[in-house]
Amino acid sequence: MSVPIHPLAVSAYTVTSALGHGLHDHLHALDTARSDLRANDFSSAPLACWIGRVAGVENITLPSAFAAWECRNNRLAWLGLNQDGFADRVRAARERYGAERVALVLGTSTASIGATEEAYRRLDADGRMPADLRRPAIHVPHSLVAFVAEALGLEGPALTMSTACSSSAKVFASAERMIRLGLVDAAVVGGVDTLCDSVLFGFNALELVSPEPCQPFDRARRGISIGEAAGFALLERTDAHPDAPRLLGYGESSDAHHMSTPHPEGLGAEFALRDALARAGLEAAQVDYINLHGTASQKNDEVEAALVSRAFPATTRASSTKAFTGHTLGAAGILEAAFALLAMEHGLVPGNLGCNDPDPACGPQFAWRNEQKRIDIALSNSFGFGGNNACLAFGKAAA
Amino acid sequence: MSHWPVYVEGVGLWSPQLADFAALRAWLAGAPLPPPAARPAANVLPANERRRAPESVLLATEVAGQAVAMSGRQASDLACVFSSAYGDQAITDYMCETLARDPSALSPTRFHNSVHNAPAGYWTIATDCHAPSAAVCGYRASLGAGLLEAAMQTIADQRPVLLVCSDIAGTGPLGTMTESRQAFGCALVLVPQASPHSLARLELTPTRQSAATAAPSPLPATWHEANVTAAAALPLLLLLAGHGAHYTLATAGSVGLDIHLEEVA
């Protein structure tokens, strides 16, 4: 079923997370192995855990034309769009192709539910939402895409992908199909998720939140640290940008196992990997670096380490970057796609931060410290609740 | 401008008035409606899952099961796209109310059922489906966005795709924002080639005209007004039931999809 694809150019990309605003801050943090997790100072009631909080979101106000979209998630989206000249690159694409020929496909798991939570904390005497939050469009999961479409002046197809933690990886697949079939000439993909009580207390109720900074693939790992992020990429045909890095392939699959626990043998994850390699026309041994899902949950890391061990030679380097940023949920796909792209561009294998005593399931592929290495092919894994898996394959521009 | 043909092999439908697509056809033919069902049977789910699953999952898996049964295909072979404008509003209402009162009391099961892809998760688990599964939305254009995503998969990868569009009624303070008055769900099995199971061929054409246009509906206005998904879906279901041949469906702010139906069977 895996139809090989023509590569697409990733003509621009940007990310904003706890590590900072834009690519430079992210590269610097990777380079210096610096985590920016901090003790939880966000939730509306105390919760002892560590979070990846983006600095400065509270200080942002959306331009008055977008006032109806005010909420933390859209502020973070706005902050993210305005890094690395990304909004200008989209403007250029819009002028080149026409606003209706640029698709918008973004992933999010909770969108602006933080605003709905706030409304419930501030119900009036009649049990109604406070007047300033009686804005129906921010109480639906499409609020992010609707806002970004308006902010970027895009008039093409606009789709929200919400498959939990694989959301902003799967957007690359949807966009590729739209471009392949000629529905559009370019697509803005990405995702935004913000910290909110729902995810902090929800994952805590599932006993998946670590009381310490998360330790991906460590024998003593105790769970995830939740973070927030905004990231975007612009996809176009390669002839328009022959020197840009490329989306070579993607894989999508379902575990068919359990709502909140991965398949014990990583069956779905392996299907997604095989699908991505087949679409990209690659052998596993050609992969230089894999940015792993690596959440630091007991089961994910065990299953993913075993998959890496059985599928790749030691020359393929692998690491999780969750200890840098926390698990940014619906934004993890785009954030870690950006890490894979940065790794290729700068020949940097980011060390798997947070692990002092590797789980015995980890093979020789794991990079525990930073390594300098030419990276031509990089993968990024994203696995979500409901057994929803995605794997992205990126490559350098052909020499 | 591109034209994309897709073939419909199965149709699922559930609302408090209509238990399936056959009930819609019968009503259109003048038959009286049977008494309304209390909730979707969702027989595709194992009994223990059916007891635990939230209403949004029962609704989505009920219509999905109907459409797949009509197609005669194996559910495990179908990629699936689940679209919902609001997700499970009852769980969102519960979560926001609990978080405002006592965050530490949040139920772990209701939290994992709150993800937008919960219906896709329950469905793929129940049918042992390892194919790609997506959960999407587009607010008022959620049906159009879901149909576009499903059609792109059908045509780009030449594979059969299950499309499910469903929304339950709103509750609590959130319900006053969503104005979803009652549950409505529908499902289509879309395939790239004609087959003995083809019910209809749909010719899809993207258009700049995003305002929905459909022939006057013979259905009670309250059915259309149930929620945004019902409003978008019923004109398409009427086409499939033999009433009319053309419908323009919104897929995003300023993009629509022209749907021309050619009867096959």
Could you write out the three-class secondary structure of A90-154? HHHHHHHHCHHHEEEEEECCCCCHHHHHHHHHCCCCCCCCCHHHCCHHHCCCCHHHHHHHHHHCC
Residue A1 resides in a domain: no
Taking one residue from A and the other from B, the number of pairs with CB-CB distance under 8 angstroms is 227
- For the question of residue A327 being annotated catalytic, the response is yes
CATH no. for residue B36?
3.40.47.10
Residue from the list A202, A204, A387 with its beta carbon closest to the beta carbon of B125: A387
User: Is A3 inside any structural domain?
Assistant: no
Cβ–Cβ below 8 Å for B130 and A256: yes
CATH number at residue A43: 3.40.47.10
* Cα B250 from Cα B210, distance rounded (Å): 5
- Dist CA A292 CA A266 (whole Å): 13
Copy the structure tokens of residue A320. 């999780």
Q: What per-residue confidence (pLDDT) applies to B210?
A: 61
B173: nearest CB among A44, A127, A205: A127
For residue A1, the model assigns a pLDDT of: 59
Q: Is residue B205 part of a domain?
A: no
Residues of chain A scoring pLDDT < 50: none
Specify whether A257 is catalytic: no
Q: Which of B95, B107, B129 sits opposite A198 (nearest CB)?
A: B95
- Determine the pLDDT at residue B254: 80
Classify residue B232: in a domain, yes or no. no
Query: What pLDDT does B36 receive?
Result: 72
Task: Tell me, yes or no, whether B72 lies in a domain.
Answer: yes
Q: Which of B87, B122, B152 sits opposite A181 (nearest CB)?
A: B152
Domain-embedded: residue A2: no
Using DSSP, state whether A188 is helix, strand or coil.
Answer: strand
3-state secondary structure of B184: strand
User: Rounded to the nearest 5°, which phi and psi values hold at B11?
Assistant: -135, 130
Closest residue by Cα to residue B13 from B204, B245, B176, B184: B184
Q: A-chain residues within 8 Å CB-CB of B132?
A: 173, 252-254
Residue B25 lies in a domain: yes
Structure tokens at A277: 């390699």
Whether residue B243 lies inside any domain: the answer is: no
A residues 350-389 closer than 8 Å to B (CB): 384-388
What DSSP letter does each residue of A197-228 carry, written as one string?
A: HHHHHHHHHTT-B-SSS--TTBTT---B-EE-
Whose CA is closest to B75, among B135, B144, B124?
B124
Residues A348, A353: Cα–Cα separation, whole Å: 14
- Is the ipTM, as predicted for this complex, more than 0.85? yes
Residue A245 included in any domain = yes
Q: Which two tokens stand for residue A150?
A: 């308006």
What pLDDT, on a 0 to 100 scale, did the predictor assign at position A2?
Answer: 79
Contact A119/B121, CB-based, under 8 Å? no
Owning domain of residue A68: 8-395
For residue B53, the enclosing domain spans: 4-197
The pLDDT value given to residue B211: 67
Whether B50 is covered by a domain: the verdict is: yes
pTM above 0.95, yes or no: yes
Number of domains observed in the structure of chain B? 1
CB contact under 8 A, A117 and B107: no
Number of domains present in the structure of chain A: 1
As to burial, measured by CB atoms within 10 angstroms (0-12 exposed, 13-18 middle, 19+ buried), residue A330 is buried
* A228, A383 contact by CB (below 8 A): no
pLDDT under 70: residue ranges of chain B: 1, 210-212, 264-265
List the A226-227 sheet strands across, edge first: A38-39, A50-52, A226-227
Question: What distance in Å separates the CA atoms of residue A114 and residue A144, rounded to the nearest whole number?
Answer: 12
- Which of A108, A142, A279 has the highest number of chain B CBs within 10 A, making it the mutation to test binding with B? A142
Task: Say yes or no: A3 contacts chain B, CB-CB below 8 A.
Answer: yes
For residue A196, indicate whether it is catalytic: no
Residue B224 belongs to a domain: no
Q: Which residues of B touch A114 (CB under 8 A)?
A: none
CB contact under 8 A, A160 and B131: no
Asked, for residue B221, whether it belongs to a domain, the answer is no
Q: Torsions phi, psi of A293, nearest 5?
A: -65, -50
Q: Quick: pLDDT tens for A173-195.
A: 999 999 999 999 999 999 999 99
pLDDT at residue A27, rounded to an integer: 98
Q: Please list the residues that pair with A235 across neighbouring strands.
A: A10, A187
